Structure 1
Amino acid sequence: MALRVVVTGAAGQIAYALMYALAKGDVFGPKQPIELVLLDISGMEEALRGLVMELTDCALPLLTKIIPTVDYAVGFKDVDVAILVGAMPRREGMERKDLLKANVKIFKGQGEAINEHAKKNVKVVVIGNPANTNALICKKYAKDIPAENFTALTRLDQNRAQAQVAERLGIPNNDVWNCIIWGNHSSTQYPDVRAATALVNGKEVKVHEAVKDENWLKNEFIKTVQLRGAAVIKARKLSSAMSAAKAICDHLRDWWNGTPDGRWVSMGVISDGSYGVEAGLMYSFPVKCKADHTYEIVKDLDVNDFSREKMDQTQNELKDEMKMAMEFWW
């Protein structure tokens, strides 16, 4: 049976970079047929038509149907997976409160449509920023969908952290694992390698011991990961697209198929109170994923004073965002 996947903001650059991997089978498996629903706002019909032509011209054997639409009822009808890329971007002069107000409207509508039209076991990942709070808004209005089915993308930040460590050590990216992103997908996030491992000269070594540079780990490394998105925009004059699309694939592949034993990944999920994070916040934790498309927060990792301060700082930002968003909930 074909898996039905909707991508919002489908005419945008992140979705464009994402579509081929989804349709080719790189995410849900080389034997899984897929129906792609391309959802965008009114006025983007012609761009969607062009995207349909390109996907058709790829002649991909797993892609059984392409549905372009600007109608929520059509877009979320019977979907198994919802990839919510589209959101109101922050424009010059826009206050964060104005941005949240605009996104409450967008994600209220999408949450209600998911609740009414999607399958009740739908898996949702929110990419559009502010991703954590947008995911929380969407969950609020999808009252009949389990809260754990809503996630926010922090895998891009994890990938950035992993790549920074690998480059520092001069080893392949795959030889670094269990980097953690705590908190918000923003400049307050806390990239943490205290529990991460690297394969160096054939031996597994804790990243902290392998790097041997406390100052770099506590300062330059953290800032590089926190501000990487802004650095890409400054250099490219456009936001991250290829790396964001790859991170979406990683997030969904692990959520769908499970993580290997001893490995975990970072996902924005609804807090259950773990690590002193207020229950109900959409906060990035290390999680283990299972083959039945469920996940659990990794428990009992050591949190020192430095980490506690960083984790609280990003939690406080998320609490402020939630309070602001709540002003516009109705």
Structure 2
Amino acid sequence: MSSSNIKDPIRIVITGAAGQIAYSLIHQICNGDVFGKDQSVILHLLDITPMMTMLQGLVMEIEDTSLPLVKGVVPTDSEETAFKDVDVALFVGAMPRKEGMERKDLLSANVKIFKSQGTALEKFAKKSVKVLVVGNPANTNCYILAHYAPSIPRESFTCLTRLDHNRAKAQIATRLKVSPDTVKNIMIWGNHSSTQFPDVRSGTVTVNGKETPIYEAVKDDNWIKNEFVSIVQKRGAAVIAARKLSSAMSAAKAICDHMRDWWQGTKDNEWVSMGVISDGSYDIEKGLVFSYPVQIKDNKISIVQGLKLDEWSREMIEKTQKELVEEKNDALKATSSD
């Protein structure tokens, strides 16, 4: 593509930019795989002060990829510099859970980070900014971030459950020995945690050229309700146990999938999973950051309505909602004691 057809750059901030997820993510963004092959970018890379030398090395690598869409790279430990005039904010960094750490300890550490970054987002970012929170606990971190950036529209805040969505697709595809792209309209409800509910009730899969409901194709209710759900819920922990590090390549791919669909739209009659601020759909508490099946058109995210849920599905959804309400209340308590 000639340089005359390249669009003016968008500014993208990546937090935790010296980490391993960002390392897998940056090339895909700079290469045009996410925002389009005609969309130039300026990267704002935020990390803590001790990581600045490592960030400089990352900047050298970005320069050495020699990609024409990259119009600038700003490495920084300053929130003002990082969030200034950004169009897209990818919150990859968070305080990770360490051995022996209670959930409430993790929450209170992250509340401080996301309160500070939410305040900076409110003050310095464009009001049209698109926000994706990846760092865990992602739903509750996103809730706190939104809480401290009240003038940015609520529909601009999302958290990542696309990795769980992709994991669920892969499990069905592996089980049926088909390609993952033939699996459609599965969904992740709720929290990006071990209570999430991967739901295939409305999903289909193409086997031998014929689109079939997943339940019919799998022909094993017991596997779907037990082993499948459990594998998807615990997949992150299984990766850590095997790799001694958390998911990075697959997380980066999921971030790209999430943002590309938000930027360019979903296919007709297909949906994906995103954590969004609940509008009360499916009796979920309004304001909670909850993963729903969504469709996207013209950058607008809409929760898929009217899906049938049996009693078991409702119980699963209620369980993950209960955990999220507790997390939200704990996080709000931590902000007030700050």
Moved over 2 A (4+): none
Question: Residue 311 of structure 1 corresponds to which residue in structure 2?
Answer: 317
1:100 alignment partner in structure 2: 107
Identify the match of residue 174 of structure 1 among 173, 181, 195. 181
Partner in structure 2 of residue 62 of structure 1: 69
Give the TM-score of the pair, scaled to structure 1: 0.99
Partner of 2:4: none
1:299 aligns with 2:305: yes
Is 1:253 the counterpart of 2:260? The answer is yes
Amino acid of the residue matched to residue 237 of structure 1?
Answer: K
The separation in 1 between residues aligned to 2:44 and 2:299, in whole angstroms, is: 21
Q: Distance in 2 between matches of 1:36 and 1:301?
A: 39
2:273 maps to what in 1? 266
1:323 aligns with 2:320: no
2:47 maps to 1:40: yes
Counterpart Cα distance in 2 of 1:94 and 1:171: 40
Q: How many Å apart are 1:329 and its aligned residue?
A: 2.0
Q: What's the TM-score, normalizing by structure 2?
A: 0.97
CA–CA separation in structure 1 for the residues paired with 2:96 and 2:248: 14
Instruction: Give the aligned partner of residue 24 of structure 1.
Output: 31
SS in 2 for 1:327: helix
* Paired position in structure 2 for 1:87: 94
Deviation track 1:122-173 (CA, whole Å, cap 9, x = no partner) reads 0000000000000000000001101110101000000000000011111111
Distance 2:287 2:52 in 1: 37
1:285 and 2:292 are equivalent in the alignment: yes
Q: Equivalents in 2 of 1:177, 1:124: separation in Å?
A: 25
Whichever residue aligns with residue 201 of structure 1, its letter is N
Q: In structure 1, give the amino acid aligned to 2:243.
A: R
Residue 153 of structure 1 corresponds to 160
1:210 aligns with 2:217: yes
Following superposition, the deviation at residue 75 of structure 1 comes to 0.2
Tell me, in whole angstroms, the C-alpha distance in 2 between the residues paired with 1:329 and 1:301.
36
Structure 1: where are the runs of 5+ without partners?
Answer: none
Number of residue-to-residue matches in the alignment: 329
Matched, 1:191 2:198: yes
In the alignment, the residues of structure 2 paired with residue 295 and residue 73 of structure 1 have an alpha-carbon distance, to the nearest angstrom, of 28
Question: Following the alignment from structure 1 to structure 2, what is the Cα–Cα distance between the partners of residues 213 and 315?
Answer: 27
- What's the RMSD between the two structures over aligned residues? 0.6
Instruction: Give the whole-Å Cα distance in 1 for the aligned partners of 2:285 and 2:150.
Output: 20
One-letter amino acid matched to 2:238: A
Return the alpha-carbon distance in structure 1 between the equivalents of residues 141 and 155 of structure 2.
Answer: 15
Q: AA paired with 2:101?
A: M
What is the CA-CA distance between 1:274 and the residue it aligns to? 0.7
Post-superposition offset of 1:92: 1.4
Instruction: Give the letter aligned to residue 331 of structure 2.
Output: A
Q: Secondary structure at the match of 2:335?
A: coil
Q: Distance in 1 between matches of 2:37 and 2:290?
A: 32
Structure 2 stretches lacking a partner, 5+ long: 1-7
Distance in 1 between residues matched to 2:241 and 2:146, nearest whole Å: 33
